[in-house]
Amino acid sequence: MDKNLLEILVCPVTKGPLIYDKAHGELISVSGRLAYPIRDDIPVMLEEEARVLTAEEADAYRKGGSAEI
């Protein structure tokens, strides 16, 4: 994931920052509890394509770690 791109992308729902989870190939919106997929190196920033995070996953990202699925 291009660091410059990550700096300008925001969650389309909350307009908040995103966390890049390289291990799972997702961009994480903690405040929206959504995980946007990255397909062929392109972030899919559509709410209907996002996976809803569990409370445990959101807490793990909030604490600065990666959530195990």
What CATH number did the domain enclosing 44 receive? 2.20.25.10
In the numeric block, which tokens belong to residue 49?
């394509």
- What's the rounded Cα separation, in Å, for the pair 6 and 1? 7
- What's the rounded Cα separation, in Å, for the pair 58 and 60? 5
pLDDT band at 69 (very low <50, low <70, confident <90, very high): very low
Q: What are the pLDDT digits (tens) for 20-68?
A: 999 999 999 999 999 999 999 899 999 999 999 999 999 999 888 655 5
Q: How many domains does the chain have?
A: 1
Report yes or no on 69 lying in a domain.
Answer: no
Report yes or no on 68 lying in a domain.
Answer: no
Domain that includes residue 25, residue range: 3-62
Report yes or no on 67 lying in a domain.
Answer: no
In the numeric block, which tokens belong to residue 52?
């809803």
User: Is the pTM for the entire model greater than 0.85?
Assistant: yes
Report yes or no on 51 lying in a domain.
Answer: yes
